[in-house]
Amino acid sequence: MPESEQNPDGRDRPTVSRILGFHLDVEQQWVVELSCGHTQHLRHQPPWQSRAWVLDPLQRSKKIGQRFACGWCAQAHE
């Protein structure tokens, strides 16, 4: 699944979405799938990005359904 365009259909979108799932991209980086239709990379690259949970299947599954601030939607509201 490719990375989402910022707002391909022009619909107004909320800035907070829910996590629907995860997948690995072609470079084996984790990508979150959001209820707003966007996707976003979630990298664990300490000390810049500390998301060790994304590497653990159980921890990822616990995040399904949780709220997530979509960066693409936030940019559309600026």
Residue 17 has pLDDT above 70, yes or no: yes
Amino acid at residue number 8: P
Residue 7 lies in a domain: no
Question: What's the confidence (pLDDT) of residue 32?
Answer: 95
**How far is residue 28 CA from its own chain's centroid?**
15
Give the domain extent around 23.
18-76
Q: Which H/E stretch holds residue 57?
A: helix 57-63
Q: What is the pLDDT of residues 3-12, one digit of tens each?
A: 444 445 555 5
Report the C-alpha gap between 61 and 6 in whole angstroms: 26
pLDDT band at residue 15, thresholds of 50, 70 and 90?
Answer: low
Residue 49 lies in a domain: yes
Total of domains in the chain = 1
Residue 39 has pLDDT above 50, yes or no: yes
By C-alpha distance, which of 2, 4, 13 is closest to 78? 13
Q: What's the pTM?
A: 0.74
Question: What's the confidence (pLDDT) of residue 10?
Answer: 55
